[in-house]
Every structure is written in structure tokens, then in C-alpha cells.
Amino acid sequence: MSFNVVIGFGPAGAATARLLAEQGHSVRVVTKSGRSPEPGIEHVALDATDSERLIEAARGATAIYSCAAPPYHRWAGEWPPLASSLCAAAETTGAVLVMLGNLYGYGPVDGPMTEELPLTATGPKGRVRSAVWEQARRLHEQGRIKAVEARASDFFGPGVTDGGHLAARVMPRLLRGKPVSTLGDPDAPHSWSYLPDVARSLVELAGEERAWGRPWHIPTQPPLSTRQMIDRLAAKAGTGPVTVRGLPSAVLGLASLFSPLLRELKEIRYQFDRPFVVDSSAYEAEFAVRATPVDEQVEATVDWWREHLGAKR
């Protein structure tokens, strides 16, 4: 079994660390604040932009999983030093750098997104995410590091509470049968990345040398609109049908005056105003992980949220 370092313990970092531990690997999680240890996982408190300390924490690692991200409104200033530190750790330790990416770098496109599309986003978040991958790709091509990027769409599933469009803004109300508001057109086709599939893909790519040096789209089920997903979740919960309303632009604009997060969402609103579809056939042609069937995704998500909300009472 191998030693692995996971940067960040948000939903994706936690799911990846726990999957590795379940498989019998040694896992060290790096976060700014640290946490209490849990079975198979050591938590270390350090700032991952401190390359010297990160290198020491990652010595002997087979893989470094980049699952951390600054808050949206600080991406431009904080992503570059974090990416440089991750690359330095990968170069010094020889560990493969497994980067969890997203689809922002493509910008608005017509038709399904494939890994062959150019990274032509013009917004600051799309540009910075493109730059993070291009830095790692160049170093990989120079033979200085080993790197791979797994690109996901919007997360949902057990453990996804913040940021996800099928998370805290939707699930508590849905479970009570209350109307929900969503960003953009609730009937636009949309690809969703199920969190356990994200973790399984990251771990698989780390162990497949032929995957390194390029991006891959995480295996994803055919697109369903926000309304279709909410209908399925409500039906499984026994609370449906619930009313689904698109959040009007004027309301979003007013709310953004008081919320840095909502201000930043303006850049990527196109992802919900029009079809946003992922083609993951390249991954599926090469590797073993497949997207979990939608019915299983929905059942597990409803069960987790019920337990989560019950524990908070």
C-alpha cells in the first residue's frame, strides 16, 4: 500500500482521502486548520502555499491530490501561489500531482464539452484555472513533474453541502416539500458530477501512468436539467413534486451587492442559462471507473441529507 497526500478536506478532498484509507493506503491530509485524526487518515495543519513545509509533508508520497481551492472571490490572487507550491512539491518528491479541475476554462461552448476543446475562457476564474493546468502540463512535458487533471462538473451527492446547486440551497427545502429557487434556466440540460465518482476517478488516474500529462473528464451520466434532478430527488424523498423557480436576474443582481459569492457567480451563469454538457467518453474508453447510475446517486443523496439534517437538530 502507498502513502498519499491530499490537499484540502472539502467534499472532494474528504471523499478522496476516505476512499484511499478504505483501500488500505496511508493518507495525510493537509489543511490550514488541521483536524482530529480519523481511521487511516492523518491530518496536518499547514498552509499549502508554503512550498518548503508542503515538500516536507509530502516526502515519500506516491501521489499528491490537489483538492483545495481558495474562495471564489480570491481565486485570482491565491490560486497562482498554491499551484506553484503544488508543482514544487511534486517536482521535489517525485509524486504524481493529481489535480481536481473544472470546466470553467472552456468558457461558453456550443455542444458537448470534450478534452480536445481549447481553453478560451475570458473571465478571471476561467483564465486562472486554465493557467493552473497549463503550468502543470508544461512542467510535465519538460519531464520535471508527473501531472494529470480530472475535470468535474457541478458536484452533488453525499457530503456536498456548500456551493453545489443541488446542495444547501435546495435539499433542506426539497425534503420539506417547499419550493426551491435555482440559478439560471431550470430546464437547461446540465451534467452533474456525483461526488463518489469524482473520488474514484482521481484515485484511478493516480495509478494509471498512461493517463498522465493530459486532462480527463470524470465519468458522468447523460445530462439532466436542474428541474429533472430536483423532481427525481423529491420523488425519492416522497416530498414531490416541488415547485422549481429560476432565480430572476434582477434578484441575483441585488443579492450580489451583499454577497461576494453571488457576485462571482455572474461569470459562470452561462453554465445554467444554456445547455452545459460533458462528454466523458475518452475516460470511459480507457479506464474502469463508470458513472454511478442516477437512481443510486439520488437515493444515496437523499439518505445522506436526511441523516445530516437530523443530526443537526
What values do phi and psi take at 169, rounded to 5?
Answer: -75, -15
181 & 105 share domain: no
248 & 122 share domain: no
- pLDDT for 158-185, tens place per residue? 999 986 689 998 999 999 999 998 888 9
For residue 297, being part of any structural domain is answered with no
Supply the CATH number for residue 108's domain: 3.40.50.720
For residue 165, being part of any structural domain is answered with no
The secondary element (H helix, E strand) that includes residue 171 is helix 171-175
- pLDDT value at residue 312: 63
Average pLDDT over residues 123-135: 95
133 & 49 share domain: yes
For residue 253, being part of any structural domain is answered with yes
89 & 216 share domain: yes
Tell me: pLDDT of 261 over 70: no
- The model's pTM is 0.94
- pLDDT value at residue 269: 83
For residue 244, being part of any structural domain is answered with yes
Residues 111, 97 contacting (CB under 8 angstroms): no
- pLDDT for 269-282, tens place per residue? 889 999 999 999 99
Q: Average pLDDT over the chain, rounded to whole? A: 93
71 & 85 share domain: yes
- Domain interval for residue 268: 171-187+224-276+302-312
41 & 96 share domain: yes
Tell me: pLDDT of 89 over 70: yes
Number of domains in the chain: 2
Higher pLDDT, 254 or 50: 50
Residues 312, 159, 24, 65, Cα dihedral to 10°: -130
